[in-house]
Amino acid sequence: MADTANVTQARNDTDHENLGELPEWDLRDLYPAPDSPELKDDLERARYLARSFREDYEGRLDEIDGGSLGVAVERYEALQEQLGRIMSYAQLVYSGDMSNPEVGKLYQWLQETVTAISTDLVFFTLELNSISEEALERKLEDERLARYRPWLRDIRALRPHQLSDELERMLHEKHVTGRAAWVRLFDETMAGLRFPLDGEELTSSEILNKLTGHDPATRKAAAKSFGKVLGDNARTFALVHNTLAKDKEIEDTWRGFTRPVSERNLQNRVEDEVVDALVKAVTDSYPNLAHRYYKLKARWFGVDKLPYWDRNAPLPEDDDRIIPWHQARQTVLGAYGEFSSTLAEVGQRFFDRPWIDAPTRAGKAPGAFAHPTVPSAHPYLLLNYQGRSRDVMTLAHELGHGVHQVLAGGQGHLMADTPLTLAETASVFGEMLTFQAMLRAEKDPKRRKVMLAGKVEDMLNTVVRQIAFHMFETRLHDERREGEVMASRIGEIWMETQRESLGPVFEFDEEYQYYWAYIPHFIHVPFYVYAYAFGDCLVNSLYAVYENAPEGFVERYLEMLQAGGTKRHRELLAPFGLDASDPAFWHKGLDVISRMIDELEAFD
């Protein structure tokens, strides 16, 4: 055992060297520096233009003709894009070093300044929603306004839940000292935490990476250290969760949403019953998917019960190879290129230009994301690349987001963004392309088993685990309506949903009850998490269509990405013969995972 530990430590010491040179982003495409004249000038220009816009249009939208309203929307879009560029810069600088007080001060100042400027724009969508359907249809006869029909459709979907102009303006102005302040507290608390392990003080990204390593003693020590530090800070995290859940309940009540998830569903342009069908399909499949797979994994490990820190442990026959950055890049771009030269060409830009920030470092935001910024600029990707196979999949995932964002940029700032349910399509599809390419290239049966198991685990994390997160979030918000939920009770809800989803094969030690505290989606975007399962099942169904009828698929797929937010899920999926409102749709996607588990069972 000592020899194994020494080998593992020696491997860990050289991991960063083996990764090769990792890229770091250059934010000067947005602004030269936080104190640059360009940033200051854009703030002043936006302030002036927002005031002028309000003076020109407030109280007049109902009376102006369609062409003039089209000009107004164009001016509004240009203003929102300028403010979006500023806040994208602020967010990216902050994500690069959340522990730096000066960076935090800059982020807060820009948030407050942009919020104050955009207050002059709040009236616009409120007045658009006050125009009658008949009057708006007459105005839409003008081509200049008609271009924005999809955006107007989505804005007006919020009409039943719109408050008075004064209340909407107040909520907008108070956001920076309300929800946004609590989100910042969460982010800075997580970024500042250090987790002791073997004489080192690790960030959350670094210690979570240890849970995918080969040494069981290291996995256990890392898991317990992570849980202990989260537990030491549980009161703070519970306060953040309780405050934001209550804040959401208050606003939901005023807006007339009866269920905590309904507001997110409306924002996602998906019906409550569609999401309910997804959740039911996944929860009904817990035994056939997660329970069955993890029982199989326990058998591979030669045990009856798996400790929770072995959930993402590599298989015994996995050689734990470190994948250097250049190989990860080649793998992902190669897989994209086999499918579509367009996808590969757009993806190549991210590597040729400083659009990716890959190294782990103290203070940097954990996890990974793709930030779209604005159509007049380009997306940026944040990773914490540590050379695992899952890191390659994460690169494929985030690059899919980035490519999607570039392709949709032609729709303009107001219509480029897709709802969360469809935003995961290109990312998960990129993962599937990469996995299938790697699997085809691998001839060793043992390595193929390892790869297939890794993909199944990723899919379970994306589908089963995220729906379990959704169930946790739902129960927490429901209980919060009856009063504040203590940290101990939050832990109980967490353990209930984890046991239900992962199955009886797992053993959970006491510290695992605090693992809810580090999940950022609960804080940043309440009820985001089901979108991952939505996207994974959707992509599984899409990929099955591609395998069975590849002719013309690539062109239809690219058209879907280029549509951005102009179409809803029914319109986007119709060319592929798919319908997410059909309950059977979800089972098609889940069957893909089930068949992979069948294949793994055949290895025994």
Q: Can you give the pLDDT at residue 1?
A: 32
Most confident segment among 15-29, 152-166, 397-411: 397-411
Q: Are strands 200-202 and 369-371 parallel, antiparallel or unpaired?
A: unpaired
pLDDT tens per residue, range 120-149 = 999 999 999 999 999 999 999 999 999 999
pLDDT at 15 over 80: no
Judge contact between 277 and 583, C-beta under 8 A: yes
Mean pLDDT computed over 554-570: 94
Q: Specify the residue for token string 């953040």.
A: 240
The DSSP secondary structure of 153-192, one letter per residue, reads: HHHHTTGGG---HHHHHHHHHHGGGTHHHHHHHHHHHHHH
Q: Can you give the pLDDT at residue 10?
A: 36
pLDDT tier at 14, thresholds 50, 70, 90: very low
Q: Can you give the pLDDT at residue 28?
A: 97
Mean pLDDT computed over 473-480: 98
pLDDT tens per residue, range 178-229 = 999 999 999 999 999 999 999 999 999 899 999 988 899 999 999 999 999 9
Rg over CA atoms, the chain:
24
Q: Can you give the pLDDT at residue 581?
A: 83
Stronger pLDDT, 173 or 286, i.e. the higher one: 286
Task: State the alpha helices, DSSP H only, in 412-548.
Answer: 420-423, 425-441, 445-462, 464-480, 487-502, 521-524, 530-548
Q: Can you give the pLDDT at residue 12?
A: 42
Q: Which domains does the chain have, with CATH numbers?
A: 27-177 (1.20.140.70)
pLDDT at 7 over 90: no
Mean pLDDT computed over 415-424: 88
Q: Can you give the pLDDT at residue 123?
A: 95
Task: Give the side-chain half-sphere CA count within 13 A for 103.
Answer: 19
Judge contact between 56 and 68, C-beta under 8 A: no
Percent of the chain with pLDDT over 90: 84
Judge contact between 121 and 54, C-beta under 8 A: yes
Q: Can you give the pLDDT at residue 584?
A: 85
The DSSP secondary structure of 209-261, one letter per residue, reads: HHTTSS-HHHHHHHHHHHHHHHHHTHHHHHHHHHHHHHHHHHHHHHHT-SSTT
Average pLDDT of the chain, as a whole number: 93
pLDDT at 298 over 80: yes
Contacts of 149 (CB under 8 A, 6+ apart): 140
Q: Can you give the pLDDT at residue 461?
A: 94
Mean pLDDT computed over 549-560: 94
Residue 417's SS3 state is coil
Q: Can you give the pLDDT at residue 16?
A: 61
Q: Are strands 380-382 and 369-371 parallel, antiparallel or unpaired?
A: antiparallel
Mean pLDDT computed over 483-507: 97
3-state helix, strand, coil split of the chain in percent (to 5) is 70, 5, 25
Mean pLDDT computed over 237-241: 98
Q: Can you give the pLDDT at residue 317?
A: 84
Considering only CA atoms, which of 453, 410, 418 is closest in space to residue 534?
A: 418
Q: Specify the residue for token string 């530990």.
A: 5
Q: Positive or negative, the Cα torsion across 280, 286, 288, 289?
A: positive
Q: Can you give the pLDDT at residue 36?
A: 97
Q: Can you give the pLDDT at residue 200?
A: 94
pTM: 0.85
